[in-house]
Structure 1
Amino acid sequence: MKLVDLHEDLAYSNQMKVDVINGNVQSSIKMLKEFDSLVFASIFPHVETLDERSESLTSLYGTPTHSTYFSFDLFIDQVKFYYYLDRRGFAKVIRDKNDLSSKEVKLLLSLEGADVLRDYTDIYILKELHIYSLGLTWNYDNKFASSCMSKKDYGLTSEGEELVKLANSLGIIIDLAHAGKRTVIDVCNLSKKPVIVSHANVKRLKDHKRNLDDEEIEAIVKTNGVIGITAIVSTLGKGDINSIIDNIKYIGESYGWEHVAIGTDFLGISEVPRGFENILKVKDLAKAIEGHEEEVLWKNAYRVIMDNLGT
């Protein structure tokens, strides 16, 4: 079975001393080998701390959550970890579209939040490091765009516009997970390439700041992009596998099955949905969406990858 997971926190969990190579918690290289798998391998270079912002995040996710600050040192350390996996033969870092045919576990490096960038031209460096997916924000506003937690959703800044244009020209996928609504609309109106929302759910099914309303979904669809339905329990109606299926079917039936994918956020979440405790449970999802499983589990995401990397 082929699988593209649009978001997993392998490097971050490795720093938390989780065994992401042979482990049995949520996901690991060992479990991913059960599939012909490609994972958007998140780079999440955050230092955790408790402050007033952490209180807002705790309110957002419903569980005690630290706020974070970006660290360039952690950025480098996490990139190095993925290339360690590559050198040791545990996984294959995608350097160009030819690597998509590798039989190993494939890692498409993905930076979660552009805060670590000094200015938009820094994405030339991302390109050299083979980081082919870029999330504009995490849960904080930055110089490029407003986030889902913004108190004043200003959308893309002028520098953010330049970042999106340059990302398009370099073949770097724009990820709108964690973005504010105005940012989502602005990017979708500007981007010449399909965008992704790597890990989010539907606001109509659960009113949550991390979820997408119908206007946002329509904008993403117009770019020919995809939305990765996620396992974040607080964004799901009943917090179980059936809620994940409901989100998949909502987008598939309402907007077209070519626009829905999977973005578990495994190894980045402290609580898992009932019946969807690890990546192997994707096999149960496949049965529940029989007839559309290939589109949802890999074809849609693969199309967006090729439309961007094919430049």
Structure 2
Amino acid sequence: MVHMFIDLHEDFAYANQMGRDIIHGKGQSSIEMLKNVDSNVIIFSSIFPHIDVINERSAELSSKYGFPIKSSNFSFDILLSQLKVYYYLERAGYVSILRSKEDLKKPGIKFLLSLEGTDVLKEYEDIYILKELNVFNLGLTWNYDTKFASSCFSKKDYGLTAEGEELVKLANKLGIIIDLAHAGKRTVLDVCSVTSKPVIISHGNAKRLKDHERNYDDEELECIVKTRGVIGITAITSTLPEKTLKGIIENIKYIGESFGWDYVAIGTDFLGISEVPQGFENVTKIKDLLIEGHEDQILWRNAYRVIEENLS
């Protein structure tokens, strides 16, 4: 057992939507599996309000990058449906949902609700509603550009828009963490110049180790560090230098040794990926990521600091 564990991205509600057993399942992650990791766990639990569709965009991107890329329609109804999953898990006693800084001290499995992409938001003031729904992590983009920011797959990386800048400032005020996973480079740089709170990359890796659109170059990583944020190293196999546990550890060491051990964390993307790295097939393997002298920082302390600084 580890002292504590924080995972910056798992897709519990999406997995439930896909018919997987998120309570007793033996796949990538589940409530029962998390209990075997530690008695004190915080999971950034994603809300992914997307419907997969086939269209010209998905075909074009998949052909261009050589791996399947989903195309989606967006639905506020799906957002509500996935929220209901999380609130059911709380009512049934499986988890508690984080509502305040004080809730961090609660024992057991805690879910920090996270919206992946701003596609369903009509204006930046909509995040007042997100706060009332206890959504305290907000990804600015998924794989599509929005009226607030450009994504990593943008044809024209325009960065943060004027309304996006207002959204970031309001999120800082409301205690909502800004998440730059899937964001374009210009968006990353713009957000880091505007934010007054630490920001995160919930699930992404270093472009220096693997040149991939979902990864981040040194300039972007340095900007995250300057906000006192964290980078959640992920198990997405296409973003790794090799599809193994070693590929994940290489990213952890690269961030720690190049930018400081206070800025590296874990964001597996379990339950949202179709392929897992060899040797890191599920969340119970988290102990295999331990690097001597930095265990607490990587597994929870760095991410915990960012949560505290945003929620305060």
Shorter-chain TM-score tier: over 0.9
| Farther-moved stretch of structure 1 (60-69 vs 180-189) | 60-69
Structure 1 length as normaliser, TM-score? 0.97
Pair 59,239 (structure 1): closer, same or farther in 2 beyond 3 Å: farther
Distance 1:59 1:264 in 2: 26
Distance 1:20 1:68 in 2: 23
Pair 12,57 (structure 1): closer, same or farther in 2 beyond 3 Å: farther
1:135 equivalent in alignment to 2:134 = no
In the other structure, the counterpart of 1:5 is 7
Superposed CA deviations along residues 270-292 of structure 1, whole A, max 9, x for unmatched, are 00000000001101111xx1110
Q: Which amino acid aligns with 2:172?
A: N
Distance 1:143 1:128 in 2: 22
Which aligned pairs between 1:66-145 and structure 2 lie closer than 5 A? Answer: 66-145=70-149
Q: Which amino acid aligns with 2:311?
A: L
In the other structure, the counterpart of 1:25 is 27
In the other structure, the counterpart of 2:302 is 300
Distance 2:77 2:65 in 1: 27
In the other structure, the counterpart of 1:237 is 241
Distance 1:97 1:29 in 2: 23
Q: Which amino acid aligns with 1:39?
A: I
Pair 13,239 (structure 1): closer, same or farther in 2 beyond 3 Å: same
Distance 1:55 1:284 in 2: 37
Q: Which amino acid aligns with 1:103?
A: P
Distance 2:307 2:57 in 1: 34
Partner residue of 2:48 out of 39, 44, 48: 44
Tell me the CA shift for residue 220 of structure 1: 0.4
| Farther-moved stretch of structure 1 (214-223 vs 93-102) | 93-102
Structure 2 length as normaliser, TM-score? 0.97
Distance 1:66 1:111 in 2: 18
Distance 1:43 1:56 in 2: 26
In the other structure, the counterpart of 1:184 is 188
Pair 63,38 (structure 1): closer, same or farther in 2 beyond 3 Å: same
Q: Which amino acid aligns with 1:24?
A: K
Partner residue of 2:277 out of 269, 273, 288: 273
Partner residue of 2:268 out of 252, 264, 269: 264
Do the aligned partners of 1:231 and 1:264 also contact (CA within 8 Å) in 2? yes
Pair 56,4 (structure 1): closer, same or farther in 2 beyond 3 Å: farther
In the other structure, the counterpart of 1:220 is 224
Do the aligned partners of 1:199 and 1:264 also contact (CA within 8 Å) in 2? yes
In the other structure, the counterpart of 1:58 is 62
Pair 3,59 (structure 1): closer, same or farther in 2 beyond 3 Å: farther
Tell me the CA shift for residue 59 of structure 1: 4.5
Gaps spanning 5+ residues in structure 1: where? none
Do the aligned partners of 1:57 and 1:67 also contact (CA within 8 Å) in 2? no
Q: Which amino acid aligns with 1:303?
A: R
Q: Which amino acid aligns with 2:42?
A: L
RMSD value, Cα: 1.0
Gaps spanning 5+ residues in structure 2: where? none
Distance 2:275 2:69 in 1: 12
Distance 2:175 2:71 in 1: 31
> Identity over aligned residues, as a percent?
66
1:171 equivalent in alignment to 2:144 = no
Distance 2:64 2:14 in 1: 21
Tell me the CA shift for residue 62 of structure 1: 4.5
Distance 2:226 2:60 in 1: 32
Distance 1:172 1:56 in 2: 34
Superposed CA deviations along residues 21-75 of structure 1, whole A, max 9, x for unmatched, are 1101000011111212100000001011011221244357754343111111000
